[in-house]
Structure 1
Amino acid sequence: MSLSALAAGLLAAFVGFASSFAVVVAGLRGVGATQAEAASGLMALSLSMGLCAIYLSLRLKQPISVAWSTPGAALLASSGAIEGGFAAAVGAFILTALAIIVAGLWKPLGRAVAAIPAPLANAMLAGVLLSLCLAPVQAVRQLPALALAIIVTWAVVAKVNRLYAVPAAVLVTIVLIAWTTDLSTTTFGSLWPEPVFVMPQLTLSAVVGIALPLFIVTMASQNIPGIAVLKVNGYDPAPGPLFTTTGIFSLIAAPFGGHAVNLAAITAALCAGSDAHPDPRRRYWAAVVAGLAYVVFGLLAGAATAFISASPPILIEAVAGLALLGAFGSALMGAMQDMRDREAAVICFLVTASGVNLFGISGAFWGLVAGGAIHALGRWRVR
């Protein structure tokens, strides 16, 4: 252990939690979770990703950072209520976890996910994120003074250090909400929120509309980039066991409301980079510290969820939108980069962003179907 590893790990955990916990709560509430179920899900995710990071980092002596699936949470927020309620969503979470486990154990499935055209995967993600990324603009229309204060804070801090921009906006949001909202009737609960077991149900709409897109965005937007970040920093772990382990921890969290945990991408750079320690062999302690901090944050899940539930929804959505702007921009650029696939990517993006819901199945699936059809037609014409 070293002071630099301690600082890097604490910073990674704070940035990871503060930047996106509002997205996670919004996603769980969006698919029908009650306040208690959302708090349970947030706690389950925090504990799972913390313990998973500690286990993998100590076992491999490499800085394996783990996070919840932020794009997956955004997908849930855009999906809306589904047939079967939150129990059906939990059933989809379990299937997603099982699919991640199989992807790690069975190489053909992992290759099949990697074979999904990158423009389509990026276009689907961009379409999922669009509605949340519009929230800051909508917040300015509804609550101009409060929203502008949050956005200005984010923009000014980003000029100094982009890593701190969203956490600073979160802190300002908390202060503004506490100042302008009557929280006297809000029950914040204990530091250890009650775990709520949800009996899962399987419905076709949840399997196709949530499980499949959640699996794709988690693998394509989190697990695969997470491996890339490790390789850039000189580490070369076998991807399969990492995917399988995160899938097992996702499976443990799912019955308690957690949608998915996976390899971290952005915060992984903090733990795997030279700032964590000059010696690459000692940087794994930063990921261990981050994991311990996530476990502590999990104990505050009840209070965090209660605070969000008592707050004006548009402000929470605005902060979530600011947190996802970078991911949205990267996804949009990745979708439009290849001229040959641009038309298919645009179709996928538009159908996904439209929020169309056919047969109880969310737009993310139909966007992938529509874009995939145009992509296949284009390749067929070329041949």
Structure 2
Amino acid sequence: MERMHLASAGVVAALVGFASASVVVLTGLRAVGASPAQAASGLLAVTVAQGLGTVLLSRRHRIPVVLAWSTPGAALLASTGAVDGGWPAAVGAFLVVGGLILLTALWPRLGALIAAIPAAIAQAMLAGVLFALCLAPVHGLLDHPALVAPAVVTWLALSRLAPRWAVPAAFAVAMVAIGIWLARHGGPDGPLLPRVDLTAPTLTWASVLSLAVPLYIVTMASQNVPGVAVLASYGYTVPWRESMTVTGVGTVAGAFAGGHAINLAAITAALAASPEAHPDPRRRWLVANLAGWTHLVLALLTTALVTVITAAPAGVMTAVAGLALLGTLASSLNAALAEPADRQAAVVTFAVAASGMTLLGIGAAFWSLAAGLVVRATLRPFARPAPPEPAG
């Protein structure tokens, strides 16, 4: 019975993570110029990298540490779109991100610099990046109601009854709806078996500033730092330097195949580290370990998933990706506006990030950070504390 419980908890943790965010990853990779084959290779790369890293770290340290792809980072790619140099430049940016993560492991000061970015600014940038993608369910309902509405209704119902399963169930319903649509329109036409599609990277200033720097900041601030906090809340200490080394190496290795970034998981880690996973804290590492092996199995499905999604009407799976990010958008907005003295700077950051602007070939995410920091530096010295709440 114990083995069955551990196995089911590990499989569930992996399935929830994969089904909740794989469409976001594919949307982001396609947005920065990947072909369907290159996007499938990128999804394969990050799935394998996070699976191997999870198996290694959980077994070595006997704690439920789980790795994941950077979902906010994928949303950033979707918001940024193609940069100067196209897909090879995006791959170069992924390599830079991996190098920066490795540098974080070797030079703790870099991690401290990222932590010094005000939370309101970092979260407002993330919210602005997510905003356009979170509008996709609205557009999808208007353009393809028969395909998108069942997923939206499923998501809404389970958000009330079983929030953990809301997005995975919406994903499953959308896949069924697409399957029915494809059966009426000749079926999918493309490869089903996984394959690696290597890309020679190039570097441009636009790709480094538009993609690499914001992707690194989002990955650190919205994934790695919360991942450490989640495990700490359950009594576990994350091996920070080794975790950054593993995720940095995994990101660098996966970049050549199109993978954007891997990092410490937060939500999936909670599934493996909570008492629901196993009553004995010393045994929960087995749940994470099994989740890692499950990811390696799920990697076999990545190309088939891309083939089905590519054959579906444009906008359907983007709508599902938007549903998957609504919770993250809500959390980001809440964190961005939590500190009254930083609200103006946060709103400016959000507005610039959500605008999708490009200036000097550099995308909105970079400029939103710059604008937010300038506004904060200008206003913060003169900010007055919020008035006290009335008594009673």
Q: TM-score, normalised by structure 1?
A: 0.97
- Residues 65 and 238, structure 2, Cα contact 8 Å, conserved in 1: no
Q: Report percent identity of matched pairs.
A: 48
Amino acid in structure 2 at the alignment position of 1:319 = V
Partner of 1:233: 234
What's the secondary structure of 1:262's corresponding residue? strand
Matches within 5 A, 1:209-288: 209-288=210-289
Cα deviation per residue 1:123-154 (whole Å; 9 max; x = unaligned)?
00000000111111111111223322211111
What's the secondary structure of 1:2's corresponding residue? helix
Q: 1:185 to 1:177 in 2, by over 3 A?
A: closer
- Residues 352 and 363, structure 1, Cα contact 8 Å, conserved in 2: yes
What's the secondary structure of 2:315's corresponding residue? helix
Partner of 2:329: 328
Aligned positions, number? 382
Q: 1:217 to 1:49 in 2, by over 3 A?
A: same
Partner of 1:203: 204
- TM-aligned CA deviation for residue 382 of structure 1: 5.7
- Residues 82 and 205, structure 1, Cα contact 8 Å, conserved in 2: yes
- Residues 51 and 293, structure 2, Cα contact 8 Å, conserved in 1: yes
- Residues 102 and 109, structure 1, Cα contact 8 Å, conserved in 2: yes
Partner of 1:48: 49
Partner of 2:79: 78
- TM-aligned CA deviation for residue 242 of structure 1: 1.2
Cα deviation per residue 1:27-49 (whole Å; 9 max; x = unaligned)?
00000001111111010110000
Cα deviation per residue 1:242-293 (whole Å; 9 max; x = unaligned)?
1221111111101100000000000111101112211111100111111111
Structure 2: give runs of 5+ residues left out of the alignment: 385-392
In 2: Cα distance, 1:29 partner to 1:90 partner: 12
- Residues 55 and 292, structure 2, Cα contact 8 Å, conserved in 1: yes
Partner of 1:166: 167
What's the secondary structure of 1:313's corresponding residue? coil
Partner of 2:294: 293
In 1: Cα distance, 2:197 partner to 2:216 partner: 23
- TM-aligned CA deviation for residue 186 of structure 1: 3.0
What's the secondary structure of 2:153's corresponding residue? helix
Cα deviation per residue 1:319-349 (whole Å; 9 max; x = unaligned)?
1011001100000000000000000000000
Aligned match for 1:189, one of 188, 191, 195: 191
In 2: Cα distance, 1:145 partner to 1:61 partner: 47
Partner of 2:387: none
- Residues 342 and 380, structure 2, Cα contact 8 Å, conserved in 1: no
- Residues 189 and 311, structure 2, Cα contact 8 Å, conserved in 1: no
Structure 1: give runs of 5+ residues left out of the alignment: none
Matches within 5 A, 1:31-110: 31-110=32-111
What's the secondary structure of 2:206's corresponding residue? helix
| 2:352 maps to 1:351 | yes
- Residues 4 and 275, structure 1, Cα contact 8 Å, conserved in 2: no
- Residues 23 and 74, structure 1, Cα contact 8 Å, conserved in 2: yes
In 1: Cα distance, 2:107 partner to 2:249 partner: 15
- TM-aligned CA deviation for residue 80 of structure 1: 1.1
Runs of 4+ displaced beyond 4 Å: none
What's the secondary structure of 1:256's corresponding residue? coil
Amino acid in structure 2 at the alignment position of 1:186 = P
- TM-aligned CA deviation for residue 313 of structure 1: 2.5
